Structure 1
Amino acid sequence: MSQDSQHGKWTISSSDDDDERLPPSGAPPESRRPTDTKPASPVRVPATMKVEAEPAGGHVTSVASGSEARQSDPVKYESSPAPAGKRKSDVSEGTGWALSDSDEGDGDVKGNGLGDPPKRAPSGPKAKKAKVESERPPSPHGRTYYIDEPQDFFESCVPCLNDTYRFYLNKVTGLDRKYNAGALHIRDILSPLFGTIKESVQFNYCFDIAWMVKQFPSEFRDRPVLIVHGDKREAKARLLQQAQPFPHVRFCQAKLDIAFGTHHTKMMLLWYEEGFRVIILTSNLIRADWYQKTQGMWMSPLFPRLPEGSSASAGESPTFFKRDLLEYLASYRAPELEEWIQRIGEHDLSETRVHLVGSSPGRYVGPDMERWGHLRLRKLLRDHTNPLPGEERWPVIGQFSSIGSMGPDKSKWLCGEFQRTLSTLGKSSLRPDPSMHLLYPSVDDVRTSLEGYPAGGSLPYSVQTAQKQTWLHSFFHRWKADATGRSHAMPHIKTYMRASPDFSQLAWFLVTSANLSKAAWGALEKNGSQVMVRSYELGVLYVPSDFNLKTFPVDRNPFPVSSSSSGFTVPFDLPPTSYSPKDQPWIWNIPQAQAPDTHGNIWVPS
């Protein structure tokens, strides 16, 4: 049996034949919001938790359930079972489901993507479903596991022990305290220990406004906040309604002129009495993203204000971070951001040691092709890295939480474009392709996670997409993070890197909002003379030369944090572990009823 068949023969319904149909022209791009309406969830979650499903940088297909609430679909649907292919132009406030296929022009939009909904799988004596929304089965991690955090969880501290790279993981509940050493919660980021906040901008995909406001310290809770989002129509109305109790919250709508694009960037701009700071991260502004998922962030130094009369080019970094950040903000063409563009220009960003890698929707030709997406990453790797001895044996690694449509075979985009970008080292263009390891959780990884099956709601890979690209699964490796003590916190972080054959060194490292999709990274068109990008994304690239290194040493034991360590924290185990013949990738609209999860639940999509 081939590996494709080992990791990818699924049959759920006969409704997949019209999986290629796009929605009618002008179909409204609807909600991506966390909501209060009770979903038709296969596993009940507490009413206080929002349920969302994040896109693979574009839109996704399937029924989401679990710990998030991102609806990426350009058309909204009922969460209750509906005939395949039936579109709903509206739903009651916020079922929170993303029900479209991945991202490209071949992306589909369907009712619930399943035809007749699958029957509820019979549960064994140990496999059960929570009886009511507010009552989940007893947790092996303690009575307060689901809602309450440990007493020290919100203790803010400045992570000054080892901030060479300024790359941090998030705090995770349910882990030994040492594994949160040096990690950050959103309350840490907004803490007075980092500065006296005067005003902020929050770029993100999904928001819970009331929850977000509560994360600010009481003394900053009424400071002006600008929300940059991509919602339209009813979704936008719901978002604005969330903010009605908070007059200090304003909004800026990102322009999304290409179908199936999303505003997926996750960034904070914080203006202090003492200066200015940028945080680029992987978490949505909802509670579920900050408690039991593996997330990452880059936090800038505190940038001081430039002396009055400084030139326009003052305060630039060797990586041209200031120029690139201003260009990214200008790409929104939003009056609401003009004051921030001016404000950033007045600060000294010269200490920045990372490169900005963004995506902004559009079709680009000529030199503009290298402004955004994976061609931007390719240019940076070409200009700022150098060839390495035996580099053909240095694998490229991609790790993500959502997957778009890659095409009928690996040559169409994954290897034809994306692998070529990830393989770039210096200016030489003729090199054999290195191996590629793609890290994505297996069914068993999700089942045994801290959240159990609900964690799969944050991993929106649909059977409709998976069936069309079983070839992709031969690249898959398990999500394992024992080195960081986080093997059971499912990933929402997205990272890409090039590692040495023994995985002790990195040629470069990228943390980003971009999942594995053409919508996020861009795809060539017109015989390679044009690139099309659908979504807003943002990340930072670490290059060793900017740290006076030839390669980054990997920190094999990053926790507890030590001031003597000079290694880079990789948020999963190296070397990656290939899927075994018995492993299957997590696909969120396939029932999982044969084995209960860590909370005794099964997974039955409706």
Structure 2
Amino acid sequence: MIKLCAGMSQDSQHGKWSVSSSEDDDDELPPSGTTSKPRQAMQSNHTSSSVADPVEVKAEPEPSLIVGSQARQQAARNQSNPVKFESPAAGKRRTESSDGAGWALSDSDDDDAEKRKRSESPVRKPASPKRKKAKLETERPPSPHGRVYYIDEPDDFFEASVPHLDDTFRFYLNKVTGLDRKYNSGALHIRDILSPLFGTLKASVQFNYCFDIAWMVEQYPAEFRDRPVLIVHGDKREAKARLLQQAQPFPHVRFCQAKLDIAFGTHHTKMMLLWYDEGFRVIILTSNLIRADWYQKTQGMWMSPLFPRLPEGSSNTAGESPTFFKRDLLEYLAAYRAPELEEWIQRIGEHDLSQTRVYLVGSIPGRYVGPDMERWGHLRLKKLLYEHTRPVPDEDRWAVVGQFSSIGSMGADKSKWLTGEFQRTLGTLGKSSLAPDTPLHLLYPSVEDVRTSLEGYPAGGSLPYSIQTAQKQLWLHSYFHRWQADATGRTHAMPHIKTYMRVSPDFTQLAWFLVTSANLSKAAWGTLEKNNTQVMVRSYELGVLYVPSAFDMKTFTVQKNPFPVSSSSSGFPVPFDLPPTCYSEKDQPWIWNIPYSQAPDTHGNVWVPS
């Protein structure tokens, strides 16, 4: 039996939702240049003092571009032109339609008819909030996160210093501005990753979904800023033209367009290949290459060891790891069928990757049959869990915990994909596992989590769960749990990280852990077709799987308080609190394209989608 949240039901989740027309989510957007709206210009430095950003970085040249979902575009508009909170006049009752206090439910599962009907419906906006000019510094509302939130980070926040790295798991969180310094101990900023302390950079490849080229170039140290960079992206037509235009001032930046032959797929993989005088390194991460993803969001990454060059004359199979990471990485890169990646495939072949202890879990767009079904997506994960994990006592009580920042369409009921397909994969534990209906906890920020975050409501721009998708799958919301990370100091830094794991009944041990770019969607993980004889994957995704056997362990011990980083700890640094806290009857999942105006966020603003 699948464990659901106590006290949560579909009935407890409704009321009225007001609707606006938008794409569903970050990883199920139409391919660039088809039905998606053009990406619009935005200011990368937010000048409104009422939307405080404690980090000062060099302004990007105009025009900067909004990239990604409409939710991110809305967040940028909200920050540059905030809507201030105003209490309702005494004796006047605020109407239900003025915010997202309730949801307008549809009885129909006819996607096309409902979508047309909703897209023609005007967005009803709150009557009371008004856009106001930014207040002066002295007029900022008090922050629940303390006075330091409005103070610029010390200069050494950006100064690369030898970080205290965890050489056991090599799993790191990003630095977050506005937190106590101890919560950034051992965390990494992009400038740290690219610093000379990790190697003398010769060239690099950046795989990602969203790019701000000028900002990205600025993150490289001055001595490496003209070294060749290859951008691997999925943009087409107008979006591709805008991306190329961004790079015109930077002749050392070249491009490789990932093939997206299946509609509604995206190039969502986030990876860096770094080639040094001293060797080679791979970073697999969850952050886009845009400023907004690196300062006040919780992100994660796996950083490889420095891979040394193999002796001249070594065979193609030399330098392999027990996890076959080298073979799988080369197979992943070859699947792009891109001439621009050939030299990088050759370079990786010339290096020793034998110290790698994680397994690669990727998604490549396509339809696969026979043995190829297990090459990509969730069936690849299932194969690895079957072959490399072990059954545990009381296995049916070991819960699966999934955590993500975007949600796709799951279907009319849970059996359509979530439990009938995806949960069977996540429930696999060794060769003798029966893959029972394991308890399933899904972590996704509530409206209150977003409202009280460091960024306030604009943090919801990176959580693009839409009304159109949500109202068709109310059954999903009974699985939801709050985003809480007090132990890591990240409760108020909204997550863009995506993790999946199997945890013991007392939440102290892990059977496996995965950090990935893949959100909770069929596009990312793949879906079975033709009576389960074919799997279809829409998007490029990439992650790394940790299994205890690769570390000579039976299970991983959960590290309860990973910050400040301690060299004596051998536990796995789970980036949120365990056990998860189920949504209360008052909690609602964050929906980006409905207004929230009944309470101000940490900057005194409300959320009014336009």
TM-score (normalised: structure 1): 0.86
Alignment of 1:321-400 (within 5 A): 321-400=325-404
Indicate the residue corresponding to 1:199 in structure 2.
Answer: 203
1:319 aligns with 2:328: no
Question: Structure 2: how far apart are the matches of 1:308 and 1:267?
Answer: 27
| Residue 118 of structure 2 is aligned to residue 118 of structure 1 | no
Q: How does 1:163-182 map to 2 (within 5 A)?
A: 163-182=167-186
Contact kept, 8 Å, 1:440 with 1:479, in 2: the verdict is yes
Q: Distance in 1 between matches of 2:352 and 2:111?
A: 45
Task: Please point out which of 164, 180, 187 is paired with 1:183.
Answer: 187
Distance 1:172 1:418 in 2: 32
Are positions 1:216 and 2:220 aligned together?
yes
Comparing 110-119 and 335-344, the one that deviates more: 110-119
Match of 1:6 in 2: 12
Q: Which residue of 1 aligns with 2:409?
A: 405
Residue from 239, 242, 246 that aligns with 1:238: 242
For residues 188 and 596 of structure 1, the distance between their equivalents in structure 2, rounded to whole angstroms, comes to 35
Do residues 482 (structure 1) and 491 (structure 2) align? Answer: no
Q: Say yes or no: does 1:441 pair with 2:445.
A: yes
Alpha-carbon distance in structure 1 between the residues aligned to 2:336 and 2:206? 14
Shift, 1:145, TM fit: 5.3
- 2:74 aligned residue: 65
Q: Deviations over 1:320-350 (max 9, x none)?
A: 0000000110111000000000010000000
Counterpart CA distance in 1 for 2:136 and 2:533 is 55
Residues 496-553 of structure 1: per-residue CA shift (max 9 Å, x gap) = 0000001100000000000000000000000100000000000000000000000000
1:466 aligns with 2:473: no
Number of the residue aligned with 1:73: none
Which residues of 2 match residues 117-156 of structure 1 at below 5 A? 117-123=123-129, 129-131=131-133, 137-138=140-141, 140=143, 148-156=152-160
Does structure 1 residue 293 correspond to structure 2 residue 286? no
Aligned pairs, number? 557
Maintained 8 Å contact 1:34/1:208: no
1:348 alignment partner AA? D
Q: Distance in 2 between matches of 1:248 and 1:28?
A: 32
C-alpha distance in 2 between matches for 1:308 and 1:139: 63
1:456 aligns with 460
Paired with 1:487 and 1:188, the residues of 2 have a C-alpha distance of 23
1:333-377 CA-to-partner distances (Å, cap 9, x unmatched) read 000000000010000000000000000000000000000000000
Moved more, 161-170 or 135-144: 135-144
The whole-number CA distance in structure 2 between the counterparts of 1:532 and 1:165 is 32
TM-score scaled by length of structure 2: 0.85
> 2:489 is matched by which residue type in structure 1?
G
Secondary structure of the corresponding residue to residue 523 of structure 2: helix
CA distance in 2 between partners of 1:150 and 1:24 (Å): 41
Amino acid at match of 2:74: S
Conserved? CA contact 2:373–2:535, under 8 Å: yes
How far the C-alpha of 1:589 sits from its partner, in A, is 1.0
> How has the CA–CA distance of structure 1 residues 387 and 118 changed in structure 2, closer, same or farther, with 3 Å as cutoff?
same
Given the alignment, which residue of 551, 555, 563 partners 2:567?
563
1:152 Cα deviation (Å)? 2.3
CA distance in 2, matches of 1:340, 1:447: 44
Q: Tell me the equivalent position of 1:79.
A: none
- Name the CA shift for 1:130/1:277 in 2 (closer, same or farther; >3 Å): farther
Shift of 1:120: 2.9
Normalized per residue, the structure richer in helix is 2
Q: Structure 1 residues 364 and 149 mapped into 2: Cα distance closer, same or farther (>3 Å)? A: same
Distance 1:485 1:539, change over 3 A: same
Distance 2:393 2:31 in 1: 53
Asked if the contact 2:480/2:582 (under 8 Å) is kept, the reply is yes
Structure 2: which amino acid aligns with 1:217? Answer: P
- In the alignment, the residues of structure 2 paired with residue 262 and residue 159 of structure 1 have an alpha-carbon distance, to the nearest angstrom, of 34
Letter of the aligned partner of 2:121 in structure 1? G
The two structures, once aligned, show a CA RMSD in angstroms of: 3.2
CA-to-aligned-CA distance 1:33-84 (integer Å, 9 cap, x gap): 8745999x9x9798969785756xxxxx768522699xxxxxxxxxxxxxxx
Residue aligned with 1:508, SS: strand
Are 1:273 and 2:282 an aligned pair?
Answer: no
In the TM superposition, what is the alpha-carbon distance from 1:154 to its structure 2 partner? 1.1
| Residue ranges of structure 1 left out of the alignment (5+ in a row) | 56-60, 70-104
Matches within 5 A, 1:408-557: 408-428=412-432, 430-557=434-561
Contact 1:34 1:207 in 2 (8 A): no
Residue pair 1:30, 1:235 contacting (<8 A) in 2 also? no
The Cα of 1:6 is off from its aligned counterpart by: 1.9
Distance 2:31 2:254 in 1: 32
